[in-house]
Structure 1
Amino acid sequence: MTGQAAGADARRESAAGGWYAELPAHLKVCDSEAWKGGPASAPAGAVVVPEGDNKGFDFDQPDTTYWFAPGTHTLGDGRYSQIATGANSVYIGAPGAVLDGKNINVYAFSGEATNVRIAYLEIRNFGAGADNGDEGVINHSAGDGWVMEYLYAHHNDGAAVFLGSENTLRHSCLKDNGQYGASAYKKQVADDSAIKNLVVHNNEIAGNNQDDWETRIPGCGCTGGLKFWDVKGATVTENYVHDNLSVGLWADTNNIDFLFDRNWIEHNESVGLWYEISYNATITRNVFKRNAWASGVKNQGSPAPAIYISESGGDARLASATSGSTNLTINDNYFEDNFSGVSIFENANRFCNSNANTSRSYCTPLVDPKLIPPPYDEDYVDPVNATHPCYTSVKDEPYRSDCRWHSRNVKVFGNEFRFDRANVPCAGPYCGAQALYAQGADNLPWSPYTVAGIQQDVMFNGGNSFHDNTYIGDWKFAKGWGETVSWDTWRSAPYNQEAGSTLNGSSEEPPVPNALDADTATLENSAGKWTAWYGSTVQRAAEAAHAGSYGLRIEATGGSGWGVTLSNWPGFTTTPGAKRFSLWARQGTAGIASATVSVQWFDNAQQLLRTDPVPVGELSGSWQEFAARLTAPAGTASVNLEVRGAGGSAGSSLHLDDVVLADLE
């Protein structure tokens, strides 16, 4: 065991009997009613705000403390009646102080004032109805330097809290609000992140998105317990994020340098934590339980994970002081009965100049200038009147690399993943899956990116890895377009994931790597590279399965011989040396009594070095294994397979499955 793996095991053992064995009491902020803990009498020099209608009260004085007396406070009957704050001022409530918008007032606290503190208040019924989307009730103008603490903000429409730069939100209960518990958004600026340096600590964020915005505006991506947008530097620690009617925590669009540590994220209808088109984060020592059940059942075409990494990853050119990493690191977390685990995904069409860039006016923060105007025509084809290189030179470096968001340098290690299918409302192919995949469409003729190329990058070239994890339960693993494979396949070449990991207590090494890809070897997801050559047809068929659900059915179309071959001449990459070749075969319908597999070795110049025949004889209706020890000659770079037979008549068939060409140890 490596030192890193041993350290991870020690951390997991300690944590299992410690901080995540049960929900820590201090995270139950709503039960604690901490907002009732304000001063019982006005602090020295404070302005007393009496109970009742405070319409017309002078709240905007700088350097002033306002003490709200016990009881209910209102702000009049105007839609825009609100508290316009003063710089460096404090707004603090006595025990039992309530600020009520009566479902009439839109905002509670607003203004451009800096360094405001709001504490010990219950704030409710602001937003004036479900039309308050993308608006904030507390700190409506996203002022800088605000501290918001010991608040009970509930049943407000829009976001209960907006966050600006250098803001702290802590020890508060944000519950049952119309859109978000809290949101961080400001109009983008030309040369930096719009919001910087946030602290979100020890809040309970529950039941938000009561107005169901994702149904009202399908695909808006505008809901959740807490949403970040264009933020640089955030610590999100020891929050209890649960039962939100959408995503739990969501960082969307050019967020940089985040730390998510010791949060308890449970039973949110959608993804527990979503990090989207963003950079450099550490996600560590969190608990994820029972997330994404509703979204997983509703959308069975893709994983519904506890953690969703979407076009996001690590980049050493960007800030990392808060996260402590220029990777995107997911380590030492505990997962239990989520719809699926961790999904690392990239949309091949998601780049600055694309119809799939849902953050339309934004480009990546690595290009100067980063603000790209979005002049699209109605069909989302070549842009009109665009001069920025992300439009005009996207095929050329550095723009080809820097004008898109990448899922790369994502490291998933030291985590404990538990999944009991009996406890989860499973539906579709991705329940209980880990995923490392890419999708999209090759439908933009001017785009330099292809789905196949992005899939290759995400799987093999992007520095993404799962390793040293503990799995308990019936897990599967998704690659490529999202097709699922077994534990052994996931750990074997060419994927080589989960080094040092265990599944249900077993740490057995994966089988000797197969030179053939998984589908050509097992046909579980496609016919792989098998193709008809002459006198035959080939089909991936359930009736031809030796192990798993599918095998290869070869049917003769005449009586003068037949042949099948691989379609990727000169075949699969391999090396010189001792090999073991094996396959399983049987007659499908009577008539083909024997066949020959030709194993052809090629050099780098695609010149044939030698052919080794492997006889497949005395076939019957029962499965038989045919194996041979072979030696790939010096200079071998690839191997091709041909299967030929002389017997059989039209309609005669042969079944093949589980084809392996592996190095001998």
Structure 2
Amino acid sequence: MFAAVLAASALGVSAPTMAQAWPTEPPARMCGNTAVLDGPATPPAGAIVVPAGDNAGFDFNRPGATFWFAPGVHTLGDDLYGQIIARDGTTYVGAPGAVIDGRNLNLYAFTGSARDVTIRHLTVRNFGRGLDNNNEGVVNHDAGDGWLVEYNTIADNDGAGVFLGSANTVRYNCLKDNGQYGFSMFKMPVEGGPAITDIVLDHNEIAGNNTDDWEVRLPGCGCSGGGKFWDVQGARVTHNWVHDNKSVGLWADTNNIDFLFEGNYIEDNDDEGIWYEISYNATIRGNTLINNAWVKGLRNQGSPAPAIYLSESGGDARLASTVSGSAMIRIHDNYFENNFSGVSIYENSNRFCNSNGNTSKGYCTPLVTPTRIPEPHDYDYLDPINAGHPCYTRIAEEPYRTDCRWHARNIEVVGNAFHFDPAVVPCEGSDYCGVQALIATGADNLPWSPYTVAEIQDRVMFGANNRFADNAYFGPWQFAKRWGERIGFAAWQAAPYLQDAGSTSDHPGGPGPGPVGNLVDADTATLEASLGLWSAWYGAEVVRSDAQAHGGSYSLRVDIAGAYWGVEVANYPGYAASPGAKAVSLWVRGGVGTPVNPRLSLDWRGADGQVLDNSVVALPVQGSQWQLAEASVQAPAGTASVSVVLVGSGTAGTAFYLDDLAIEDVQP
């Protein structure tokens, strides 16, 4: 890794600054670390001694007491529900070698809704019987508030090793080899706010969890990993070593708000290192992410398997940002090395309240009341459609059209170092290995939905304040846009995408296949600074318009004045071009009336200006939605330039709009 930092310096990025921004080794080597985990060898003053052996009949019903577990193995009887029911203000502390062993007979170790409980210096192991603890916690089973869990080994349990409630701190623990999660949490949602608030996970080693392989047992359950956050506001996730988990490393799913991930060392997890899903306002800074998502990348080659995945998540100034410090999602000053892919920003057009595409059944966004959609009874999550909810009856109206869906918006990925070596990462033919992604997909299959896939793709790519900038790329990175088409670094930086301003790459052309750079100048392509080279030719007028725009704030308006019309890019003999495959794309939408047979015509010219061949792209100018026109074409041998015109017929008074024209070289 240090060699990679030196390589960053060669690109003009300050190696000392970058090296200080993230951990260069795991900050929390907890598992087996007796110097940290071992408790007091003698009982603390006033403590009640719990002898080793069967503690099933021991009186733990003493609020405010301190219990000292003597060295040796402690058991809680043979009953399925043999457990310690915690009391308010109680402390449970272990001597060196103190173990509470569920023997795979008891389900849970510490239960109850008590507040301000402390558990430290204990080994808690072997709770759960087979797969009985799915979505259950062993320590703090009922997500009590104010718990402090520190200096423990919580390992080899079914379900989650630890559950968290509000104002919980879990620090300096070994959370290892648990059947589902190292940690998790759940409380029933409340009206007007998150169920759990103000939690800290600091200096834990979170390793090898999901030993029961829940994603195979329940395909698509989204219920496994090093740890999972659910419906939390205010979380500090700092200086943890998250490694070798058999799923996602750290997963925040459903209406999480105001998170800080800082100083974590996240490596060798089967799936994503960090997954922030249908959630809001987070800062992810100063983390190291290495070798994540190799297993998932090979299993699902049709989409990126990133180190950091932002799924329908974004910033919103109406929600809290006390911990994150930003009403955005900011991913900055992190180090990425040989993950299957880098950062993916994604939105599913069908994921919104009351849609069957909402996998968090029964939940709506925190900006809509009620937060949780009424259902026949609390545990019936099978049918999220509720005919009386405004997200069903009024979703085409504002504010519901905006607030009834989760958005990938207000995201910045800046100042990071991305290293990718395809000789190290097992890509094995995947199209999405070594990819940054800014994409949206879905299906136009809900008759009552006011959203379309094209609209969401358009917004995520161009209109949602999502940006990559000032990053350093090492290796043959690709960049996935819109629905997942891959382009090279030069095209990613060029119009109309204009991403990664100020970034550097040691492979600026990209690895291919894919376009590698727009032949069209920025103003003509995007209209953002001027009319560019557009000029009326015959039977038409052109203006730079701020009335409609696909990307940015301006587009080209074409006003038709005659039965036949033409518009040209006035730079004869055209843009410099070379022979070979080209990708052509532009966005169009109707204005007034409908032109007849509108088309983009490209003349491929030789060095003497003579036309060698012509390519035509039909323009789907229909209705008020922006639509993409694209084609793969071939510039013939001898091509030196390409000239661009728009032509068609129609009726005087007809008008339409055009934006984001790209003509890109495609690598073989």
Distance 1:384 1:322 in 2: 34
Following superposition, the deviation at residue 132 of structure 1 comes to 1.3
Following superposition, the deviation at residue 191 of structure 1 comes to 2.2
1:426 is matched by which residue type in structure 2? Answer: C
1:485 is matched by which residue type in structure 2? Answer: I
Distance 2:320 2:90 in 1: 32
Confirm whether residue 624 of structure 1 aligns to residue 626 of structure 2. no
The secondary structure found in structure 1 opposite 2:284 is strand
Structure 2 counterpart of 1:397: 398
Say if 1:500 and 1:507, in contact at 8 Å, map to a contact too: no
Task: Specify whether residues 630 and 129 from structure 1 end up closer, same or farther in structure 2 by C-alpha distance, changes over 3 A only.
Answer: closer
Distance 1:455 1:40 in 2: 61
Structure 2 counterpart of 1:458: 460
Say if 2:472 and 2:505, in contact at 8 Å, map to a contact too: yes
Say if 1:224 and 1:245, in contact at 8 Å, map to a contact too: yes
Structure 2 counterpart of 1:528: none
Q: How does 1:44-59 map to 2 (within 5 A)?
A: 44-59=45-60
Task: Specify whether residues 516 and 625 from structure 1 end up closer, same or farther in structure 2 by C-alpha distance, changes over 3 A only.
Answer: farther
Following superposition, the deviation at residue 31 of structure 1 comes to 3.9
Tell me the alpha carbon deviations over residues 609-647 of structure 1, each in whole angstroms, 9 at most, x when there is no partner: xx9988664859971124378999xxx99789xxxxxxx
Say if 1:382 and 1:446, in contact at 8 Å, map to a contact too: no
Q: How does 1:554-565 map to 2 (within 5 A)?
A: none
Structure 2 counterpart of 1:442: 444
The secondary structure found in structure 1 opposite 2:31 is helix
Distance 1:161 1:469 in 2: 37
Task: Specify whether residues 344 and 613 from structure 1 end up closer, same or farther in structure 2 by C-alpha distance, changes over 3 A only.
Answer: closer
Following superposition, the deviation at residue 22 of structure 1 comes to 3.4
Distance 2:234 2:664 in 1: 50
Structure 1 counterpart of 2:263: 262
Say if 2:345 and 2:439, in contact at 8 Å, map to a contact too: yes
Following superposition, the deviation at residue 383 of structure 1 comes to 7.8
Task: Specify whether residues 407 and 109 from structure 1 end up closer, same or farther in structure 2 by C-alpha distance, changes over 3 A only.
Answer: same
Following superposition, the deviation at residue 481 of structure 1 comes to 1.1
Distance 1:22 1:227 in 2: 25
Tell me the alpha carbon deviations over residues 317-346 of structure 1, each in whole angstroms, 9 at most, x when there is no partner: 000000000000000000000000000000
Q: How does 1:402-481 map to 2 (within 5 A)?
A: 402-427=403-428, 428-481=430-483
Structure 2 counterpart of 1:163: 164
Say if 1:586 and 1:619, in contact at 8 Å, map to a contact too: no
Structure 1 counterpart of 2:318: 317
Following superposition, the deviation at residue 468 of structure 1 comes to 0.2
Say if 2:477 and 2:507, in contact at 8 Å, map to a contact too: no
Following superposition, the deviation at residue 138 of structure 1 comes to 0.2
With normalisation by structure 1, the TM-score equals 0.78
Say if 2:23 and 2:286, in contact at 8 Å, map to a contact too: no
The secondary structure found in structure 2 opposite 1:624 is coil
Structure 2 counterpart of 1:653: none
Structure 1 counterpart of 2:214: 213
1:473 is matched by which residue type in structure 2? Answer: G
Tell me the alpha carbon deviations over residues 160-201 of structure 1, each in whole angstroms, 9 at most, x when there is no partner: 000000000000000000000000211111221100000000
Tell me the alpha carbon deviations over residues 237-257 of structure 1, each in whole angstroms, 9 at most, x when there is no partner: 000000000000000000000
Structure 2 counterpart of 1:500: 502
Structure 2 counterpart of 1:367: 368
For this pair of structures, how many residues does the alignment match?
A: 565
Say if 1:375 and 1:384, in contact at 8 Å, map to a contact too: no
Distance 1:216 1:570 in 2: 62
The secondary structure found in structure 2 opposite 1:452 is helix
2:638 is matched by which residue type in structure 1? Answer: Q
Task: Specify whether residues 387 and 249 from structure 1 end up closer, same or farther in structure 2 by C-alpha distance, changes over 3 A only.
Answer: same
The secondary structure found in structure 2 opposite 1:30 is coil
Following superposition, the deviation at residue 382 of structure 1 comes to 11
Structure 1 counterpart of 2:620: none
Aligned-residue sequence identity (percent) comes to 55
Q: Which is higher, the Rg of structure 1 or of structure 2?
A: 1
Distance 1:512 1:355 in 2: 42
Distance 2:300 2:386 in 1: 38
Task: Specify whether residues 347 and 499 from structure 1 end up closer, same or farther in structure 2 by C-alpha distance, changes over 3 A only.
Answer: same
Say if 1:35 and 1:122, in contact at 8 Å, map to a contact too: no
Distance 1:142 1:148 in 2: 12
1:423 is matched by which residue type in structure 2? Answer: V
Q: How does 1:297-336 map to 2 (within 5 A)?
A: 297-336=298-337
Pick which of 58-67 and 10-19 moved more: 10-19
Structure 2 counterpart of 1:128: 129
Say if 1:35 and 1:95, in contact at 8 Å, map to a contact too: no
Distance 1:450 1:571 in 2: 31
> What stretches of structure 1 of length at least 5 have no aligned partner?
1-5, 519-568, 588-601, 641-656, 661-665
2:422 is matched by which residue type in structure 1? Answer: R
Say if 1:494 and 1:517, in contact at 8 Å, map to a contact too: no
The secondary structure found in structure 2 opposite 1:390 is helix
Task: Specify whether residues 121 and 579 from structure 1 end up closer, same or farther in structure 2 by C-alpha distance, changes over 3 A only.
Answer: farther
Task: Specify whether residues 349 and 628 from structure 1 end up closer, same or farther in structure 2 by C-alpha distance, changes over 3 A only.
Answer: closer
After the TM superposition, list the runs of 4 or more consecutive aligned residues in structure 1 that deviate by more than 6 angstroms.
380-384, 505-512, 515-518, 569-572, 574-579, 602-608, 611-616, 628-632, 636-640
1:216 is matched by which residue type in structure 2? Answer: R
With normalisation by structure 2, the TM-score equals 0.78
The secondary structure found in structure 1 opposite 2:639 is strand
Distance 1:282 1:49 in 2: 43
Confirm whether residue 581 of structure 1 aligns to residue 543 of structure 2. no
Pick which of 176-185 and 29-38 moved more: 29-38
Structure 2 counterpart of 1:199: 200
Structure 2 counterpart of 1:238: 239
Following superposition, the deviation at residue 150 of structure 1 comes to 0.2
1:142 is matched by which residue type in structure 2? Answer: A
